[in-house]
A and B are shown apart, each in its own frame.
Chain A
Amino acid sequence: MPGAIHAEGLVKTFGDVKALDGVDLDVPEGTVLGLLGPNGAGKTTTVRCLTTLLRPDSGTAVVAGIDVLKHPDAVRRNIGLSGQFAAVDEYLTGRENLQMVGRLYQLKAAAAKARAEELLEQFHLVDAADRPTKTYSGGMRRRLDLAAALVVSPPVMFMDEPTTGLDPRNRQQLWEVIKQLVSGGTTLLLTTQYLEEADHLAHDIAVVDQGRVIAQGTSDQLKARTGGERVEVVVHEREHIPTAAEVLRGFGKGDTTVEEHTRKLTVPVTGGAKLLAEVIRELDTRGIEIDDIGLRRPTLDDVFLSLTGHVAELTAEENGANGSGDPAAKEPRQQKEAAK
C-alpha cells in the first residue's frame, strides 16, 4: 500500500537546469521522512511539487491518498506547509495571521478564532499575540509559521528547512514542537541540510543530490553503508606522517587516507577503544608526537560524503547567512552552481 506521501519519477526542469531528475519517495503514514541534501539538491523543488506550488514536468505524486496533479485543491485541504522563510504577514499580529489562515482554510470566523487561540497557547505565543509579527524574533516567527501550517491539523505536513538560520536554542525548541506533532500521528516530510536534524527527527532519511534520491534508509542503515569506525590521528611533525601511516596500516582494515596539510591520517578499524589504546602505545614507542587522536564513528556527514563524493556543509554555511530572498528564484540558480 502506498504511503501518505508517494512520488514516482518526479522531473522538473527550469530552463536547461534539471532541478529534479526522477525523484521517487514513499513516506508511510505516521512516519517522518528527512529529505537531506545540500543547497540546490532539489529538496525545495520536491516539496513545492508535492504541495501543489509547482507542477512537475513528469512523474506522479499522491498525497494523503489524493493525486496531486489531478486534484490539487483537494490536496491543499489535507496538507500543511511550513516554509524555509517564515510565511507570515509582518504587519498583522500573530492572532490576525492565524485567523486569516483559518478563514482561508474555509473555517467559519468563530472556528478560525477559537483555533487561533489554541495554537497561540500551544506555541507559547499568547503574550505576543497582539503584536505585529515584525516585532517577533526569528524563533517566534518560525513558531507562528508552523502554527499557521497546523490550523486544520492536516494529516500530512511538509516542512522545508524549518530550522535554517535559527540559533541552537530556538532550533532545540522547534525540534521539541515537531516531535510532539509527530507523536500525534501526523505524517511529515522534512527537508534539512543539517544531518544532525535528520538524525534527530526522522524515522527514515532520503539523501538527495542533483535532483535524485541517491540513498534511503534509517539513520543506522545509512551509517552502516559507510562502514564502521575509524581511527583518526593528527601528528605533530610533518615528517612523522610516513611512519604513522605505517603504524596505522598495521591496525587498519582498509586503506589509510592522509591529509598532508592538516597532518591527519585516517584508517578504518574494528576493535573499538581497546584498539585505540594499542595504536597510541605503538605510536609512542616509535617516538611519534601526536596532537590529537580519536576513534570516530560514522556520522551522517560521512554518509553524505561517501555517497556524493562532496561535503554537504560547504554550501550549508552559505545558506545560513542568506536568510531572505525569493525561494523560487533561488533553487534553479543554486542548481546551476551545483552542476558546475
Chain B
Amino acid sequence: MSALNDSLVIAHRNLIRMSRIPEMIIFGLIQPIMFVVLFTYVFGGSMTVGGSTDPDVYKNFLMAGIFAQTVTFATAGAGAGIADDMHKGLVDRFRSLPMARGAVLTGRTLADLVQTAVTLFVLAIVALLVGWRPGFENPTNVGKVLAGFGLLLLLGYAFTWIGALIGLSVRTPEAATSGGLIWLFPVTFISNAFVDSSQMASWLQPIAEWNPFSATVQACRMLFGDPGVSQSDAFPMAHPVWASLLYSVVIVAIFRTLAVRKYRSATA
C-alpha cells in the first residue's frame, strides 16, 4: 500500500517538474511530428508496401511505426531524469526516508507514462490531419484502436525501465540522454516500422521480425486496420498482440528488477 502511495507521490513530483520545464515536452512533440511529416512527404512517394507504391498506402503503413518509435524515446527522458536525481543530494533524502525502495523509480516511470500518453495523443491528431485513416485497409473499431494505443503505452512504459537502468548506470544526465537514444535507432530501424520487412536482406529479416519493437508495430497495424501487415510465419508476426504484451511484460520484469537492485546499492 505504502509502495503505491510513495510511487504516486514521486510521480506527482515528476509531473510538477515536467510542467515547469514545458520546453522538454514541446521538443518531445516536435521530433515525432517532424518524422511524420518528413517520412510522409519525403519517402512516401518512393516506398513499396505490400506491392503498392501509392503514397497513401505508405502513409497509413508508417503511422504505427512512428507511434511506436515515439513511445520508446521516453527511455531517454526517464534515464536523464533518474541520472539527474541520483547525482543530486535529493536521492540521499529519499533514501533516508521511510519510503518504499522502488518508489523513486516507479514514480518516475509512471510520470513518463503520462507524458508519453500526452505526446501520443497530440501525435495521433497530427497523423489524422496528414491523412492517416484507421480502417484504411481492413475494418476496425474504436475498441481495437484504443487497444493498439494501450499496447503502445505499455511498450513505452517497458522501455522507460530500460532508461531507468541506464540512468542509474551513468554519471551524468547528458550521458543518460545519449545512452538512452543511440541504441534505439538500430532497434527502431531494423524493424518493420518504416519499411516492409519482407523487402529486407534475408539475414536481416528474422532480426526485424523477432525484434520486440516490431511485434507492437505489427499488432498496431492489425488493430488499426492499417496496410502492410506482415504475412510472415515468425511467432511475433503471426501473434503480434500476444507477443507485444509478452515482450513488454518481460522487459518490465527484467529491467525493473535490475534497476531497483542497482538503486538500492547505488552510492553504496
A positions within 8 Å CB-CB of B: 48, 51-55, 73-74, 76-77, 79, 81, 83-89, 91-92, 96, 100-101, 103-106, 132, 145, 148, 326-329
**B242 sits at the interface (CB 8 A):** no
User: Do the beta carbons of B98 and A328 come within 8 Å of each other?
Assistant: no
Cβ-closest chain A residue relative to B266? A328
**B175 sits at the interface (CB 8 A):** no
B1-36 interface with A by 8 A CB criterion: 2, 5-6, 9, 12-13, 16-17, 20-21
Q: How far is the CB of A17 from chain B (nearest CB, A)?
A: 15
Cβ-closest chain B residue relative to A55? B268
Chain B interface size, as a band, is 20 to 34
User: Do the beta carbons of B6 and A104 come within 8 Å of each other?
Assistant: yes
| Set of chain A residues within 8 Å of B267, measured between Cβ atoms | 53-54, 326, 328-329
**B201 sits at the interface (CB 8 A):** no
Q: A83-B89, A84-B89, A86-B89 are in contact. Are A51 and B268 (CB under 8 A)?
A: no
Q: A53-B267, A96-B16 are in contact. Are A106 and B2 (CB under 8 A)?
A: yes
User: Do the beta carbons of A81 and B2 come within 8 Å of each other?
Assistant: no
Q: How far is the CB of A178 from chain B (nearest CB, A)?
A: 18
B positions within 8 Å CB-CB of A: 2, 5-6, 9, 12-13, 16-17, 20-21, 87-99, 103, 267-268
User: Do the beta carbons of B95 and A92 come within 8 Å of each other?
Assistant: no
User: Do the beta carbons of A88 and B2 come within 8 Å of each other?
Assistant: no
The A-B contact count (CB < 8 A) is 79
> In the complex, A247→B47 CA distance in Å?
101
Q: How far is the CB of B194 from chain A (nearest CB, A)?
A: 36
Which of B91, B93, B95 counts the most chain A CB atoms within 10 A? B93
Q: How far is the CB of B16 from chain A (nearest CB, A)?
A: 6
User: Do the beta carbons of B20 and A101 come within 8 Å of each other?
Assistant: no
User: Do the beta carbons of A85 and B88 come within 8 Å of each other?
Assistant: yes
Q: How far is the CB of B211 from chain A (nearest CB, A)?
A: 36
User: Do the beta carbons of A81 and B98 come within 8 Å of each other?
Assistant: no
Contacts A79-B96, A81-B93, A87-B89 aside, 10 further interface pairs with beta carbons under 8 A come to: A52-B96, A74-B98, A76-B96, A76-B98, A81-B92, A86-B89, A88-B90, A89-B17, A92-B17, A329-B267
